[in-house]
Structure 1
């Protein structure tokens, strides 16, 4: 029976991958509306023929990989369960009679290492893809270092979360999800607080902005927006990418305004000020706190649904999945499969909310810096630097885009300019 389910899952994945390939590579999705051709929103106006070709090709490959990678992850979880590998990881544990967190740590290390190895070829292909299209500038040793750091950070956090989670499932089979949700709220806020000063510096070097004249202008904007900050930070991303970015991170006293050095090197002062005003717009609109509220609500619904779905699956398919009981840690791949599916299914809604917030931040930035032309040139340069498609197909936009499309952003600013003429 397990073999039958495995073959069925594999066939379904194959059909899905084929359909997504046809949709992304051979459909007529996206494109530029006739009414916008020749305008500042048309990539043919601000991109070379080579850039247009690379952008279209690169975007299609990235989009296809995105839509295939997540279902492939589900397939891996099913494989780990139906082959008995998850049970084997639990049985191979040399600390079976020791502390629960040590036992869980050994199991999670084996599972995490297996998944890391399985996904390494795909991750490496993505890395090579970025290098071949001139987006990534990172050498292999640096990329591998980031992967190893990420592995151990994820492992450490997962050991804590999973140990508490399965202890709760054993102690309170019906209410575990609610208690877990209540505990995850302060834990998540704590991680957001330490992210800028503990986790982020493990990957990159952060230091106060060296251009003090620019920093003064940015801080002046921050003062206008009533943002309490004394420094703007820059981060050395040029050794890893040619893409551009800036962001506001952290909460409370650990809040930081951060600029990539690629952004500083490639954009003009007015364009940088526009980007900073956009990030400040998120602060003024309190999007960080709305994001926390959204995360808490999503976590509540996700854990509740998982608590309902998981027992039903174990009752019906437990023998095929080789799960003896839900509170045994070898059931974890099923938990991960369900939560991954729920996150994927909810991404259109979360992306829609994010796009609305990004639109609000754009509008705030346009009003704050009063230089719409800088906004247009900024969006154009962001498109060229990242080889982004300005108007992706429908499914790509809804499942991948947390920001409005560049076509929408540039056209909105262009309309603002027209209305003021």
Structure 2
């Protein structure tokens, strides 16, 4: 029964993913699709066509990737995972788990690798966004895999120990909360610098104005960095990261060419996330979500253990089945999580407009971002509800126009 239910949910999720992608594509590339009134001064017809072409290419890749991933997952559920379990049975339980997760991770990595390469070196290259060299890509992959292996060597023994307890979800939740805090703290200090170079902002005039905004916003951020994002992409961004002493403000070097009022509006938006305590709220939300997720995973784990479903025996294999089932179902909670994220973005937008005493600079920067990143100006409403962690540009601009 559990086997059939898992397969059904896997197929339904993929079918729904493809439906949303195709629905959004047809809606956004339909000849009747419009450029929103608030974007017409920046989004010329030739930019619209390029944006539609970009959307078509990305959607096609997503759909193919989703279908391939579904068939690979079904194979793993029906054949692959039991086979891996039997293959490593001769080793000690902990070494079995290391080999099992290593082999599974390698399979999933190799399945996703061609799509990642095609996305970066074909699609992003085609539209002038990619600046990553193959050497940089390979270096990033080595670093990423090395970090995953390092964290796995630390976490897998804890997992095996937890699975030896009849009820382990609450201990795992504490571990997850600790890991989330730990990651938020070390990410800007140790992990991000492995991939990017961070230098303190040298423009004294701009630095002074940013510090003035920080002071007026009552934010506690002492360090302002510029990140060499241009080594990998031409897209623009800025963000606040870290907690406690690791907190810092980061500007992509690709955004440094913006007019100063627009750049300051983006800075004020990011300060809004800090002042409104969105980082803390996201940590709490992530922890609550992880607790619910692990509770349900534990419940299903016990059910599989009792019914001998999937014909597997080892705790780590049973855990993967339970984790896979719950993560597949949790996909259908994405609209709720994205709704909460969009609310935070509206709050940060309003904060920026109020801090600068005008919404105009942020509106101008949003229009620039939409144009230069070839964002979809008219996504389907259902697609926005499901996937958009930020409000669509048209909605953000309309909300900003209402700020007095």
Fold agreement, TM-score > 0.5: yes
**Cα deviation per residue 1:283-306 (whole Å; 9 max; x = unaligned)?**
111111111111111011111111
Give the distance between the partners of 1:396 and 1:357, measured in 2 at CA.
19
How far apart are 1:242 and its partner, in Å? 1.2
Contact 1:181–1:303 under 8 Å retained in 2: yes
Q: Give the 5 Å matches for 1:241-260.
A: 241-260=233-252
Look up the match of 1:139: 133
Unaligned runs of 5+ in 1: none
Look up the match of 1:234: 226
Q: 1:400 to 1:68 in 2, by over 3 A?
A: farther
- SS of the aligned residue for 1:257 comes to strand
How far apart are 1:21 and its partner, in Å? 5.4
Which of 360, 364, 368 lines up with 1:373 in the alignment? 360
Give the distance between the partners of 1:307 and 1:93, measured in 2 at CA.
24
1:412 aligns with 2:399: yes
Q: 1:158 to 1:270 in 2, by over 3 A?
A: same
Look up the match of 2:274: 283
How far apart are 1:16 and its partner, in Å? 5.2
Contact 2:25–2:59 under 8 Å retained in 1: no
Give the distance between the partners of 2:184 and 2:13, measured in 1 at CA.
36
Look up the match of 2:312: 323
| Structure 1 stretch displaced more, 133-142 or 360-369 | 133-142
TM-score, normalising length: structure 1? 0.85
CA-based RMSD of the aligned residues comes to 3.2
How far apart are 1:248 and its partner, in Å? 0.2
Give the distance between the partners of 1:322 and 1:256, measured in 2 at CA.
50
Q: 1:78 to 1:334 in 2, by over 3 A?
A: farther
Unaligned runs of 5+ in 2: none
| Structure 1 stretch displaced more, 357-366 or 224-233 | 224-233
Give the distance between the partners of 1:251 and 1:30, measured in 2 at CA.
45
| Structure 1 stretch displaced more, 301-310 or 281-290 | 301-310
Look up the match of 2:340: 353
Give the distance between the partners of 1:14 and 1:301, measured in 2 at CA.
23
Which of 137, 161, 164 lines up with 2:155 in the alignment? 161
How far apart are 1:32 and its partner, in Å? 9.4
Give the distance between the partners of 1:253 and 1:324, measured in 2 at CA.
45
Look up the match of 1:271: 262
- SS of the aligned residue for 1:347 comes to helix
Contact 1:274–1:374 under 8 Å retained in 2: yes
Give the distance between the partners of 1:27 and 1:314, measured in 2 at CA.
46
Q: 1:144 to 1:342 in 2, by over 3 A?
A: farther
